[in-house]
Amino acid sequence: MAPETVAAPGETQHRFPCPSCGADLRYDPTGQQLKCDHCGHETAIGAQGPWGAAASVREMDFRAALDATPGAVDYEETRVLTCPSCGAQVEVDERIHAQVCPFCATPVVTETGRNRHIRPHGVLPFALGEAAARDAMGRWLGRLWFAPSGLQEFARRGRRMDGIYTPYWTFDADTRSHYAGERGTVYYTTRTVMRNGKPETVQVANIRWRPVQGQVKRFFDDVLVLASRSLPDRFTAALPPWDLSRLVPYAAEYLAGFRAEAYTVEIGDGFHEARAQMDRIIERDVRFDIGGDHQRIHRIDTDVANVTFKHVLLPIWVAAYRYRGQAYRVVINGQTGRVQGERPWSALKIAAAVLLGLLVAGGVGYWVALNQDSLSTIRTY
Ligand SMILES: [Zn+2]
Ligand SMILES: [Zn+2]
């Protein structure tokens, strides 16, 4: 079934009419301002709002948000389409009834209605425009050996990329952990063994274990958790690092001309994942605190206090494309240009390389044989 209306590039619910011609302004990453593609009019972000470069993104109380304490957080309602294939929820304009999923290129025609969620607190504005993102993808494809020859050209030509603000949670917390375990110290003893019929003295390593207990403390700042599952881990794990010092208070202007994905990982589940990240670091702290040559951990009890969170949107460029009937995805960090993706392999190029390798090996062997021959010739004189 063909979708009735497919969203045109840059169509989102965040619209800002150009004061001079009435066309839609969009956020321009290169100039970090709003720009009209139609007449070239430019407007600075922040000129019309209370936010500015100096404003920082406020931390929110996690408990209050989890208990849905009235007034703890601001909610907003947006209209979203849900992808039946990857589960992504992409925010759309009231007029859009169908769209191609930017994450997996599946035509999405589902009407899912409205989605009520915690309003984002911060946004990391795109620093990389579409042209720069396309260049980063081109360079990445160009570096790849064994990609089919036509692919780079194909990927460059008319590949539309989607600039998507992806939902994340960040958590801060004070932790204090009591632990019980054992410290292992290596000591050596000598032993006499029979070797070849003769007695011989050898050093043997032993470990002496002593029970220990103690306490470690750590303040966690901005533990980052992806609040969406529409991209496989292998993509998102490769996107960091993010420079979160560049976060600005949420303003819809930054979303003009881009898409925003709604979070599908709830805040409670997000905190679970953040705790897992914290626990790995606490375990490392405990091992360090135990000291010695080896450590055994029997128990860690962690008190977590003063948990705060932020809901932030981070910028990624996504290109989902089909090449010879197969779907591939390339994801680019919209702040740093770091690329992670899938690409086809050329069987022909691999075969050629293997053949070349064999020829080189054969050639070297022939050369060695020749030189040995000439050496032996010299010797006989
Ligand atoms: Zn204009
Ligand atoms: Zn999808």
pLDDT in tens, 248-270: 998 888 988 888 898 999 999 99
One domain for residues 195 and 261: no
Distance 341 CA to ligand 2 centre (A): 16
One domain for residues 252 and 123: yes
Q: Which residues contact 324 (CB under 8 A, 6 or more apart)?
A: 344
One domain for residues 83 and 167: yes
pLDDT at 51: 45
Distance 20 CA to ligand 1 centre (A): 5
Residue 188 confidence class, pLDDT cut points 50, 70, 90? very high
Residue 307 lies in a domain: yes
Distance 67 CA to ligand 1 centre (A): 45
pLDDT at 371: 53
One domain for residues 195 and 249: no
Distance 34 CA to ligand 1 centre (A): 10
Least confidently predicted of 293-302, 314-323, 369-378: 369-378
Residue 49 confidence class, pLDDT cut points 50, 70, 90? very low
307 neighbors 328 (Cβ within 8 angstroms) = no
> Over the stretch 57-75, which tens digit does the pLDDT of each residue have?
888 889 888 888 888 888 8
Mean pLDDT, residues 164-193: 95
pLDDT at 97: 64
Task: Tell me which amino acid residue 348 is.
Answer: L
- Higher per-residue pLDDT: 351 or 252: 252
Q: How many helices (H) and strands (E) does the chain have?
A: 6, 17
> Residue 206 belongs to what domain range?
183-210
Distance 254 CA to ligand 1 centre (A): 17
pLDDT at 303: 96
147 neighbors 138 (Cβ within 8 angstroms) = no
Residue 13 lies in a domain: no
Residue 361 lies in a domain: no
One domain for residues 38 and 174: yes
pLDDT at 347: 65
One domain for residues 190 and 139: no
Residue 15 lies in a domain: no
Distance 33 CA to ligand 1 centre (A): 14
Mean pLDDT, residues 88-108: 75
Distance 250 CA to ligand 2 centre (A): 26
Distance 27 CA to ligand 1 centre (A): 13
Ligand closest to 18 (CA) is: 1
pLDDT at 7: 38
Distance 124 CA to ligand 2 centre (A): 23
Distance 98 CA to ligand 2 centre (A): 13
Distance 15 CA to ligand 2 centre (A): 24
178 neighbors 213 (Cβ within 8 angstroms) = yes
One domain for residues 190 and 169: no
One domain for residues 200 and 280: no
Distance 21 CA to ligand 1 centre (A): 4
309 neighbors 216 (Cβ within 8 angstroms) = no
Least confidently predicted of 81-85, 328-332, 363-367: 363-367
- Domains contained in the chain, number: 2
Ligand closest to 38 (CA) is: 1
Residue 6 confidence class, pLDDT cut points 50, 70, 90? very low
Ligand closest to 36 (CA) is: 1
**How many CB atoms lie under 10 A from the CB of residue 178?**
14
One domain for residues 320 and 290: yes
Residue 98 lies in a domain: yes
> Over the stretch 201-231, which tens digit does the pLDDT of each residue have?
999 999 999 999 999 999 999 999 999 988 8
Distance 47 CA to ligand 1 centre (A): 17
- Higher per-residue pLDDT: 238 or 174: 174
Mean pLDDT, residues 136-140: 83
Ligand closest to 228 (CA) is: 2
Ligand closest to 16 (CA) is: 1
Residue 12 lies in a domain: no
Ligand closest to 19 (CA) is: 1
- Higher per-residue pLDDT: 62 or 320: 62
Least confidently predicted of 25-39, 95-109, 226-240: 95-109
pLDDT at 346: 63
78 neighbors 262 (Cβ within 8 angstroms) = yes
pLDDT at 148: 61
Q: Is the peptide bond before 241 cis (omega within 30 degrees of 0)?
A: yes
Q: What's the N-to-C CA distance of the chain in angstroms?
A: 86
pLDDT at 70: 81
One domain for residues 246 and 121: yes
One domain for residues 325 and 192: no
Q: How many residues does the chain have?
A: 381
DSSP state at residue 255: G
Residue 364 confidence (pLDDT) above 90: no
Q: Which two tokens stand for residue 249?
A: 């208070």
One domain for residues 193 and 263: no
317 neighbors 305 (Cβ within 8 angstroms) = no
Residue 381 lies in a domain: no
The stretches of 187-300 forming alpha helices (DSSP H) are 233-236, 267-290
Neighbours of ion ligand 2 (CB under 5 A): 83, 85-86, 88, 101, 103-104, 106
Distance 115 CA to ligand 2 centre (A): 17
Distance 275 CA to ligand 2 centre (A): 28
Distance 17 CA to ligand 1 centre (A): 8
Virtual CA dihedral for 37, 93, 229, 129, nearest 10 degrees? 0
Residue 298 lies in a domain: yes
Does the pTM exceed 0.85? no
